[in-house]
């Protein structure tokens, strides 16, 4: 019915096509992981995953993104223990992550990437501590590039319920919407008026009307994990679990309608997203067989299928799902053992954009030429169709490099300063220009 640190390795292993239309890629298997991972897609339908390494040579908040050809991995923030991760993209295709530090500092943080690289800021430390840490956060940006973060503090009773942080383009403001002292899961989205909506697993629903917050309590079954998405008509859609992990979909159409999805999720965790036609797409970790599964109502009834069955581990954690503008489905999860997560995985439907069409005439012009990483420090790889001529210009129009075959590697010499450069690829009678950002 319904919607810095460059790690120059693309150690991406295509492990297998698990079932039918799903394909699985191991994005990172280099260390131990903790907490949940989350996924978002940019306007080019490229997926990005945020996750945390807790025991490693370089522990911290990690960001893996697919550039159209390969996965790339970066460190967004260094540290030992981050929780409550949530990721989104702004209108300029830059990623933003909300998360909490648990040791040695305890706080709410916001990390973002721009042309200069990764940055982070501490937004809230009040009430945080070794017994009161960030349990959950949910981040979204609106059409004005303003940032909305809903979050909750868990651990011992912190005396804080639903918290809200807002960036208006110049400064942050913090607000307590509901204070009940409970550790809660929550989710947020913004409507077409750029007003935020937030719900938590106790059925508290907060909506900003442009002047004040309207706060209601929904008469649903007991919540487990909860997710909120607004459809194309600004109607809230909520997927939640009861105390037994049974998954439900609730949507507002003049009054609340509740539909049992007919499946049970381990850990009461069932992330979902809406496609452009407002259909529901849910992932969950199955109770009986530890499989990662996918449910949708794109047909007359709910259909349930296996995405993948994890190997030699206790199960998987269904962490994130995103449906892009073409209706393609992107999923991230982790295989887990009793004490740690073994790897970060990415699942997608065949033809979702991670698999290039064989006929180059079918590829959008913006993707015929790729340069990665971008921004870069010492070198970048440039790819283009066979026979293309590559030229590199500074912003004064001076050609500072040329290549007659691809892929090629551009390694600027010491005389080339930091800044923006233009890569011009000539393919027959077609000319394509891409931007490259050099940071020294």
- pLDDT, tens digit, for every residue of 315-335? 556 589 999 988 899 999 887
* CA nearest to 133, candidates 165, 101, 164, 181: 101
Question: How do residues 56-85 score in pLDDT, each as one tens digit?
Answer: 668 899 999 999 889 999 999 998 788 889
**Residue 16 banded pLDDT, cuts 50, 70, 90:** very low
Check whether 46 has a pLDDT greater than 70: yes
Instruction: Take residue 41 and report the two structure tokens written for it.
Output: 């897609």
Which residue, 323, 349, 375, sits at the end of a domain?
349
The reply to whether 354 falls in a domain is no
Average model confidence (pLDDT) for the chain? 82
Is the model's pLDDT at 344 over the cut of 80?
yes
From residue 138, give the alpha-carbon distance in Å to each of 38, 150, 249, 401, 422.
Answer: 10, 5, 19, 44, 36
Are residues 152 and 52 part of one domain?
yes
- Strands laid side by side in the 256-264 sheet: 226-230, 236-241, 246-252, 256-264
Q: Is residue 57 domain-shared with residue 195, that is, in the same domain?
A: yes
Res 301: pLDDT: 85
- 439 neighbors 421 (Cβ within 8 angstroms): no
Verify that 74 and 220 share a domain, yes or no.
yes
Q: Closest Cα to residue 432, out of 372, 377, 376, 384? A: 384
**Residue 407 banded pLDDT, cuts 50, 70, 90:** confident
For residue 312 the two structure tokens come to 């030699």
% of the chain with per-residue pLDDT over 70 = 82
Whether 279 maps to a domain, the answer reads: yes
- CA distance linking residue 432 with residue 415, whole number of Å: 26
> Does 357 reside within a domain?
no
Residue-level length of the chain = 440
The tens digit of pLDDT for each residue in 186-238 reads 999 999 999 999 998 888 899 999 999 999 988 765 666 789 999 999 999 99
Mean pLDDT of 412-418: 88
Q: Evaluate whether 225 touches 268 at the Cβ level (below 8 Å).
A: yes
Task: State the residue for tokens 């339908």.
Answer: 45
Residue with the bigger pLDDT between 154 and 109: it is 109
Residues 215 and 123 in one domain: yes
245: confidence class by pLDDT, cuts 50, 70, 90: confident
Residue 356 lies in a domain: no
- From the CA atom positions of the chain, what is the Rg in Å? 22
Closest CA to 73 of 40, 30, 116: 30
Q: Do the Cβ atoms of 376 and 115 come closer than 8 Å?
A: no
Q: Which DSSP string corresponds to 5-73?
A: EEE-----EEEE--STTEEEEEEE-SS-EEEEEEEEE-TTS-EEEEEEESSSSS-EEEEEEE-SS-EEE
Same domain as 406, residue 326: no
Query: Rounded to the nearest 5°, which phi and psi values hold at 365?
Result: -55, -40
Same domain assignment for residues 85 and 189:
yes
pLDDT for position 53: 84
Q: Domain end: 326, 349, 372, which one?
A: 349
Beta bridge partners of 51: 62
Q: Are residues 307 and 374 in the same domain?
A: no
Both 299 and 389 in one domain: the answer is no
Residue 33's nearest CA partner among 97, 85, 88, 95 is 85
Whether 166 is in a domain gets the answer yes
Both tokens of 281, joined, read: 């797409």
Tell whether 200 and 119 lie within a shared domain: yes
Which of 292, 327, 349 represents a domain boundary (last residue)?
349
Q: What's the pLDDT score for residue 94?
A: 96
User: Within a domain: residue 10?
Assistant: yes
**Residues 236 and 322 occupy one common structural domain:** yes
| Statement to judge: residues 255 and 401 lie in one domain | no
Tell me: do 158 and 234 sit in the same domain: yes
Q: How many domains does the chain have?
A: 2
Q: Map residue 343 onto helix, strand or coil.
A: strand
Q: Contact, 282 vs 270, CB < 8 A?
A: yes
Question: Cβ contacts of residue 111 below 8 Å, gap of 6+?
Answer: 61, 76, 77, 96, 97, 99, 118, 119, 120
What is the spatial distance between Cα 388 and Cα 405, in angstroms, rounded to a whole number? 6
Structure confidence at residue 15 (pLDDT) = 33
Q: Are 246 and 202 in contact (CB under 8 A)?
A: no
Question: What is the structure's pLDDT at 5?
Answer: 30
Question: pLDDT of 355-382, one tens digit each?
Answer: 444 444 444 454 578 787 777 878 888 8
In a domain, 355, yes or no: no
The CATH number linked to 25 is 2.120.10.10
Which SS3 state, helix, strand or coil, does residue 360 take? helix
Is 162 within the bounds of a domain?
A: yes
How far is residue 364's CA from residue 411's CA, in Å, rounded to a whole number?
27
The CA distances from residue 224 to 5, 82, 131, 202, 322, in Å, are 37, 22, 22, 8, 21
- CA 215 from centre of chain: 28
Print the domain residue range for 258. Answer: 5-349
Sheet holding 172-178, edge to edge: 132-141, 147-155, 162-167, 172-178
Q: Any residues with CB less than 8 A from the CB of 221 and at least 6 apart, and which?
A: 240, 242, 243, 246, 248
- Whose tokens are 């967004």? That residue is 76
Whether the predicted pLDDT of 33 surpasses 90: no
CATH code of the domain in which 408 resides:
2.60.40.3080
């Amino acid at each position: 019915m319904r919607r810095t640190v460059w790690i120059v390795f693309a150690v991406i292993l295509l492990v297998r096509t698990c079932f039918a239309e799903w394909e699985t890629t191991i994005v990172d298997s280099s260390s131990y992981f903790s907490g949940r991972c989350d996924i978002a897609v940019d306007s080019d339908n490229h997926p990005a995953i945020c996750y945390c390494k807790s025991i490693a040579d370089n522990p911290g908040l990690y960001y893996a993104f697919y550039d159209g050809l390969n996965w790339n991995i970066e460190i967004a923030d260094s540290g030992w223990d981050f929780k409550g991760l949530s990721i989104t993209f702004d209108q300029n295709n830059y990623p933003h992550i909300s998360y909490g530090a648990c040791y040695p500092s305890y706080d709410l943080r916001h990390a973002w990437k721009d042309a200069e690289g990764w940055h982070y800021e501490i937004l809230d430390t009040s009430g945080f501590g070794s017994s009161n840490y960030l349990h959950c956060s949910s981040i979204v940006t609106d059409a004005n590039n303003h940032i909305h973060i809903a979050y909750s503090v868990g651990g011992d009773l912190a005396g804080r319920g639903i918290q809200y942080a807002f960036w208006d383009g110049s400064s942050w403001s913090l607000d307590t919407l509901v204070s009940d002292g409970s550790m809660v899961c929550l989710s947020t989205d913004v409507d077409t008026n750029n007003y935020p909506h937030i719900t938590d697993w106790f059925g508290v629903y907060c909506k900003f009307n442009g002047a004040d917050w309207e706060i209601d309590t929904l008469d649903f079954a007991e919540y487990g994990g909860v997710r909120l998405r607004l459809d194309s008509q600004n109607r809230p859609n909520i997927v939640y679990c009861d105390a037994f992990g049974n998954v439900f979909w609730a949507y507002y159409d003049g009054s609340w309608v509740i539909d049992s999805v007919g499946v049970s999720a381990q850990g009461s965790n069932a992330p979902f997203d809406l496609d452009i036609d407002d259909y529901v797409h849910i992932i969950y970790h199955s109770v009986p067989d530890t499989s990662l599964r996918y449910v949708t109502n794109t047909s007359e009834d709910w259909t349930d299928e296996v995405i993948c069955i994890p190997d030699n581990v206790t199960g998987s954690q269904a962490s994130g799902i995103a449906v892009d503008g073409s209706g393609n489905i992107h999923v991230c999860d982790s295989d887990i053992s009793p004490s740690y997560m073994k790897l970060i995985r990415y699942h997608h439907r065949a033809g979702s954009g991670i698999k290039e069409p064989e006929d180059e005439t079918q590829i959008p012009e913006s993707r015929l030429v790729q340069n990665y990483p971008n921004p870069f420090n010492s070198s970048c790889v440039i790819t283009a169709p066979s026979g293309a001529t590559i030229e590199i210009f500074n912003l004064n129009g001076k050609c500072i490099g040329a290549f007659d075959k691809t892929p090629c590697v551009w390694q600027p010499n010491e005389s080339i300063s930091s800044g923006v450069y233009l890569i011009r690829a000539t393919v027959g009678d077609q000319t394509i220009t891409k931007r490259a950002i050099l940071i020294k």
